[in-house]
């Protein structure tokens, strides 16, 4: 086992910022990421060997990400890619696997920046090939320049839908409609609170105008009802919903499509922080179960910090600011930044976070998550994609007395598959809560178990020998 002063898990905005700041104060940082290149989802880069021929051919996020990654590469930071942190033992010992082997790394301080993933929402037909998440569609287009389909319906909630539409349209796809679940009424009421954040507003306005010019219907208060098809998606139906995103009777519209992009917000990837024993709380607006943190972004496990969407979904700007602040606190913890110098930097970082929080609150109100979205599924709808457990099978287990997601897991195998319950967990908690008349919080969350991602047996065997 080797020892590092500071390990940062996750190479997206939060992890990059944390590693950069800590390294600038002389902390020896190991930065680990599962992907072949740094950047995470937001800053996703094209593969090595792909080249931009014209300025403007790649998005601003990609360019901003490139600059940050180049800065990281110029600092004495050890970057370990293609590496999965599949476990945390004794609070700060990481189990890290590559394709060829696995090793244990003891981290003096730890910054967890695992990010978030699209909230999985079961609806009839959601397992058909061609139904993809908003994040998945973005990766396909940003990194590989491949469209998810030619005729695409976008359904979900939040500004990301507009960004996806922008990418689809510039790639030459036909966007048949955007079904935005949020009602988006009375936008003018937010005007004064948005004034300090004009750059975000302008960006949003540009996307809306582009969509309008392309003749794409933008429909607030609408949700996907079902995806149609046999071997792959061939159609999709949308319909109106109420303010809690509950489907309500009204005229349905069917579209011929070969792809459906679904993005109903995000879920924090809090598996690592939960596995290391940190306390968590349930915050629907922040993406579910998130680690409890001090003002300095330290979890309840000393020396373990959490930053970015993995500690509460708030977007890339907040992730950058939190990562930087976590980096400062790591430097202080290791004695590299003290006294007035720390206070000055920390105050500035906290000011930035406070500024961004104002924007975040408006977004949360505008696109407030509606649990009614989980009512799209019927008994025959797949809940657990890995083990092929339907909503009906889970409901039967709840009727038989299961009152916690872990009980449903033990009785039906929902959540026991390769994704470790990341796909079915959030929906199952709502199902349990609804059927037992309890809270989503009481319905609980799957206990995280190593390996957090599948590790080949030969890799594990290698560690034992």
Partner 1 sequence: MTRVRGTGDLRMLDGVERGRRVQILVDGEAVEAYEGECLAAALLASGRRATRWTTRTGEPRGYFCGMGICHDCLVRVEGHGNVRACMTAVSGGLRVERQRDMVERRIDA
Binding residues (CB under 8 A) for partner 1: these are 34-36, 41, 46-54, 56-58, 99, 117-118, 120, 127-133, 135-141, 143-151, 170-174, 231-232, 385-388, 417-419, 422-423, 453-454, 456
State the nearest-atom distance from the C-beta of 361 to partner 1, in Å.
27
Whichever of 72 and 389 has its CB closer to partner 1, that residue is 389
The DSSP H or E segment spanning 357 is helix 339-366
- Of the candidates 463, 456, 408, the one whose C-alpha atom is nearest the C-alpha of residue 434 is 408
Closer residue to partner 1, CB minimum distance, 58 or 105: 58
User: Do 100 and 459 form a contact (C-beta atoms < 8 A)?
Assistant: yes
Q: CB 314 → partner 1: shortest distance, Å?
A: 18
Minimum CB–partner distance for residue 185 and partner 1 (Å): 31
By beta-carbon proximity to partner 1, the closer residue of 135 and 312 is 135
Number of neighbours of residue 420 by Cβ within 10 angstroms? 19
Q: Write down the least CB distance from residue 413 to partner 1, Å.
A: 10
Q: Which pair of tokens denotes residue 380? A: 């025959």
Q: Which is nearer to partner 1, 141 or 334 (CB)?
A: 141
Backbone angles phi, psi at 150, to 5 degrees: -90, -40
Q: How far is the CB of 143 from partner 1 (least distance, A)?
A: 8
Distances (CA, A) of 444 to 135, 329, 355, 417, 431: 26, 31, 33, 18, 11
Comparing CB distances to partner 1, the nearer of 167 and 359 is 167
CA angle 23, 29, 31 (to 5 degrees): 115
Structural tokens at position 268: 């924090």
Q: Residue 366 — left, alpha, or beta (φ > 0 → left; ψ -120 to 50 → alpha)?
A: alpha
Distance of closest approach, residue 324 Cβ to partner 1, in angstroms? 24
Closer residue to partner 1 in complex, CB, 44/280:
44
Bridge partners of 2, per DSSP, are 105
CA dihedral 135, 239, 166, 266 (to 10 degrees): -20
Smallest distance from the beta carbon of 394 to partner 1, in angstroms?
15
Nearer to partner 1 by Cβ, of 51 and 340: the residue is: 51
Distance CA 227, CA 222 (A): 15
**Residue 172 or 249 having the CB closest to partner 1:** 172
- Of 6 and 262, which has the nearer Cβ to partner 1? 262
Contact 364, 157 (CB under 8 A): no
Backbone conformation region of residue 205, classed left if phi is above 0, alpha if psi is from -120 to 50, else beta: alpha
Sign, CA dihedral 302-305-309-313, equals positive
Contact 31, 15 (CB under 8 A): yes
């Amino acid at each position: 086992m080797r020892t590092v002063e500071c390990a940062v898990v996750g190479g997206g905005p939060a992890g990059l910022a944390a590693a950069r700041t800590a390294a600038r104060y002389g902390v020896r940082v190991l930065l680990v990421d599962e992907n072949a290149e740094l950047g995470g989802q937001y800053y996703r880069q094209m593969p090595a060997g792909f080249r931009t021929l014209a300025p403007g051919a790649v998005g601003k996020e990609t360019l901003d990400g490139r600059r940050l990654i180049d800065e990281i590469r110029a600092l004495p930071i050890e970057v370990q890619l293609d590496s999965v942190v599949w476990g945390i033992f004794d609070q700060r010992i990481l189990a890290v696997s590559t394709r060829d082997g696995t090793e244990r790394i003891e981290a003096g301080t730890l910054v967890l920046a695992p990010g978030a993933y699209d909230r999985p929402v079961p609806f009839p037909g959601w397992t058909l090939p061609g139904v993809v998440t908003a994040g998945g569609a973005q990766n396909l287009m940003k990194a590989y320049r491949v469209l998810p389909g030619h005729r695409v319906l976008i359904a979900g909630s939040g500004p990301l839908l507009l960004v996806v539409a922008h990418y689809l349209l510039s790639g030459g796809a036909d966007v048949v409609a955007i079904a935005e679940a949020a009602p988006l009424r009375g936008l003018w009421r937010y005007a004064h609170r948005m004034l300090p954040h004009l750059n975000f507003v302008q960006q949003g306005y540009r996307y809306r105008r582009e969509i309008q010019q392309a003749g794409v219907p933008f429909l607030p208060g609408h949700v996907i009802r079902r995806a149609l098809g046999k071997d792959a998606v061939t159609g999709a139906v949308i319909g109106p919903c109420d303010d809690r995103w509950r489907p309500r009777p009204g005229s349905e519209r069917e579209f011929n499509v070969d792809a459906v992009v679904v993005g109903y917000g995000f879920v924090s990837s809090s598996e690592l922080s939960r596995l290391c024993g940190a306390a968590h709380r349930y915050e629907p607006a922040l993406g579910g179960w998130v680690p409890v943190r001090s003002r300095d972004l330290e979890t309840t496990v000393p020396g373990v910090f959490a930053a970015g969407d993995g500690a509460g979904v708030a977007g890339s700007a907040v992730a950058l600011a939190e990562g930087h602040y976590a980096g400062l606190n790591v430097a202080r913890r290791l004695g590299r930044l003290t006294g007035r110098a720390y206070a000055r930097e920390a105050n500035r970082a906290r000011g930035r976070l406070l500024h961004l929080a104002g924007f975040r609150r408006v977004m949360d109100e505008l696109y407030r998550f509606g649990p009614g979205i989980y009512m799209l599924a019927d008994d025959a709808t797949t809940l657990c994609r890995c083990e092929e457990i339907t909503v009906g099978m889970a409901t039967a287990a709840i009727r038989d007395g299961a009152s916690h997601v872990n009980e449903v897991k033990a009785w039906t195998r929902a959540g026991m598959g390769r994704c470790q319950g990341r796909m079915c967990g959030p929906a199952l908690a709502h199902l349990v809560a609804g059927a037992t008349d309890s809270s989503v919080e009481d319905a609980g969350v799957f206990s995280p178990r190593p390996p957090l991602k599948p590790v080949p047996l030969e890799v594990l065997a290698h560690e034992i020998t």
